[in-house]
Chain A
Amino acid sequence: MRRLVSGNEACAEAALRAGIRFFGGYPITPSTEIAELMAEELPRVGGVFMQMEDEIASIMAIVGASAAGVPSMTATSGPGFSLMQEGIGYAAMTEIPVVVVDVMRGGPATGLPTKGSQGDLQQARWGTHGDHPVVVFAPRGVEETFALTLRAVEVSERLRVPVILLTDEFIGHMREIVSFPSRVEVYHRQRPRVASSEYVHYAEENNYNAPYASYGEGYAIHLTGLTHRADGFPINDAPTIRWNNERLRAKIEDNLAYLEDNYVDDDPDADTLIVAVGSSARSAYEAKLLTDKPLAYIRLLTLWPFPDATIRGLARGRKRVVVPEMNDGQLCREVQRCLSGDTELVSVTRNDGSMLTPQEVLEVL
């Protein structure tokens, strides 16, 4: 069925269809419509919407609900996303699946509540302290918001990781035609198949589709944000600390192929590669269509883990790599890591609350 909806509406609809049954949130522009829709729709499907007292409470409430077995989500924007960071770290450390939607607006601080930006690309990766696993998806528009919200819920439940969906004010409030699928495959987390005496909450066997217990199922699990052993209890010895860190890292590294998702439009004759993400990629691609020059193009649907190898491969032998974005160069820094030799890196930024235009990208092509 095709309907004209906004990015925020598409996000809420996808969350419901993906099986999200608990939403904890706090009003913040430009994400609020997601909470409003969840407040209306969740009770209809037997789920719970909670307006919490702040964003810290919101992230912790969804962590709690998910630990008790219910797929859970929150939505926010820059200032609220900043407040949620410690909770995102807690979800990463305890391996509790949650989905956090950040509808980006201009920052820092209160910044530009009603205007879009891509200022949270790095915060999404490194917002909480310490090294930690996190998966970040970034749609280009409304239809992809629907698709990537579905995927965010699935990946989160499969890998027991927090997954962040980065949209922005432009996408959140823009209306586009979406072809809604009649049926959506929903992944249900696997319960342990062993007796509670045999069960180890953080078994060596990690990652994809591993079964795990939730509260109330009789496994007497202990969840703590402290560095812990396989049975969940805190420990201070170096080998176990390394084991814990490696386990968290491995769940991303072992699943790179499952997580990586790019749109690539390569041209062997092109001496320039464009690397783009999210809404500003629309302008980048439009610029590519407007010029006769051969151009190679990659757009990252999965921003983190960053597709180092893919970008390195595409950039090899090119003269220039152009990175357009709506911040002061956060994506560009990351692309720089992947370049070698004489390849020139060109950063195209716009950071004034307005959309980057195709003309601004064309100027450097």
Chain B
Amino acid sequence: MASAKTSGKKHSFTPMVHTYLRMDNRFPHVWCPGCGIGILFAALIHALHELNIPRDKILLASGIGCTSRMPGYLDTDTFHVLHGRALAAATGVKLARPDMEVVVVGGDGDMLAIGGNHFIHAARRNIGITCIVLNNYNYAMTGGQQSPTTPRDMFATTAPYGAIDDPADACSLAAASGAAFVARTTTYNFVQLKRFVKTALSRKGFRLIEVVAQCPTIFGRLNRMPATKDLIAWIKGHTVTLEAAKKMDADELRDKIVTGVFVDREVEEYSDRYARLIKKVRNAH
């Protein structure tokens, strides 16, 4: 990887990342200082770069929310869709252009609440999409409302007395729906995050990565962890690996973030299946 020196500091990867960004007119970006989305964005760019995926073939799609602002900054084809509907729109793109590498990013609210139905069915079909859910436990863009993943007893502007809902589990949902690849990691573990994204991009079918990320400005402040380091320490403190989790009971696991690869299996990607159907139908006539 190229290294460059700017203002006396060594930046080993920034110049490469910049070549993937719409640097000329899209910055500064919308995200708050300390936000976890940039860590995911960097991991994604590194993964795309290291796998040498042609720029013309990349589509980054999203719905609405903080994470969903990511496509605006990536210098490839990008698709900022309606709230919750990125997977449905990306399904259309993938079937129209099966040669494209389709990546969909979104937050926990976008993907699991308003977009929950599309999430289930994209996974069920195993449409060729890498879906990355950035889980920061709240609707941050609109100011910190309760999301489907807000943990029990934690606070949100619409859960001022603490959440009483049980949270949704994106990985279990994707696995139960039939996704080919399912993994969870956190922004604390950049190396694992990048590796999971690379692995996901190398697989076929529907691939889900849930990335637990810090939102210090909104979620952190509402939950007495306004400093980025406090929230990252909280995430780290609640993280257990899949291997360790196997030795823990349900009670111990209740508030834990289990990281690792839950599903990794070979499937026939949906658009390949459709191409086969077309061939069969045409040969029969």
Contact = CB atoms under 8 A, between A and B. Distances in A.
Interface of A: 22, 24, 43-44, 46, 48, 50, 52-54, 56-58, 60-70, 72, 86-87, 90, 215-226, 231, 233-234
B80 A44 contact: no
Nearest to B55: A220
Contacts of B71: 222
B77 A215 contact: yes
Contact of A63 (B75, B92, B117): B92
A68 B96 CA distance: 6
Contact of B93 (A44, A90, A215, A221): A215
- Residue from B88, B97, B99, B281 having most chain A Cβ neighbours under 10 A: B88
29 contacts: A24-B92, A43-B282, A46-B282, A48-B96, A50-B92, A52-B88, A52-B91, A57-B88, A61-B92, A63-B89, A63-B92, A64-B79, A64-B88, A64-B89, A65-B93, A65-B96, A67-B89, A69-B97, A72-B92, A86-B82, A215-B79, A215-B100, A216-B57, A216-B100, A220-B77, A221-B77, A222-B78, A226-B80, A233-B25
Given A53-B118, A90-B81, A222-B78, A61 B91 contact: yes
Nearest to A225: B82
Interface in B135-157: none
B100 A224 contact: no
A217 B59 CA distance: 11
A220 B92 CA distance: 18
A46 B278 contact: yes
Contacts of A231: 25
In the A-B complex, the 7 residue pairs with the smallest Cβ-Cβ separation, listed nearest first, are A64-B92, A68-B96, A65-B92, A224-B80, A64-B89, A60-B88, A61-B92
Nearest to A47: B278
Interface string B18-62: 000000011000000000000000000000000000011101010
- Chain B residues touching A, majority SS: helix
A52 B120 CA distance: 12
A290 B281 CA distance: 51
Contact of B285 (A44, A54, A215, A234): A44
Nearest to A57: B88
Contacts of A65: 92-93, 95-96
Contact of A234 (B72, B81, B117): B72
B194 interface: no
B96 A64 contact: yes
Contacts of A67: 79, 89, 92-93
Contacts of A225: 80-82
A221 to B, nearest CB: 6
A57 B85 contact: yes
A221 B78 CA distance: 6
B121 interface: yes
B91 A90 contact: no
A43 B82 contact: no
A324 to B, nearest CB: 38
B176 interface: no
A74 to B, nearest CB: 10
Contact of B277 (A43, A215, A222): A43
Given A64-B81, A224-B72, 16 more contacts: A43-B281, A46-B282, A48-B96, A48-B274, A56-B88, A57-B88, A57-B91, A61-B95, A215-B59, A215-B96, A216-B59, A216-B77, A220-B75, A225-B80, A231-B25, A233-B26
B245 to A, nearest CB: 31
- Residue from A24, A62, A64, A222 having most chain B Cβ neighbours under 10 A: A64
A356 to B, nearest CB: 37
B88 A218 contact: no
B76 interface: yes
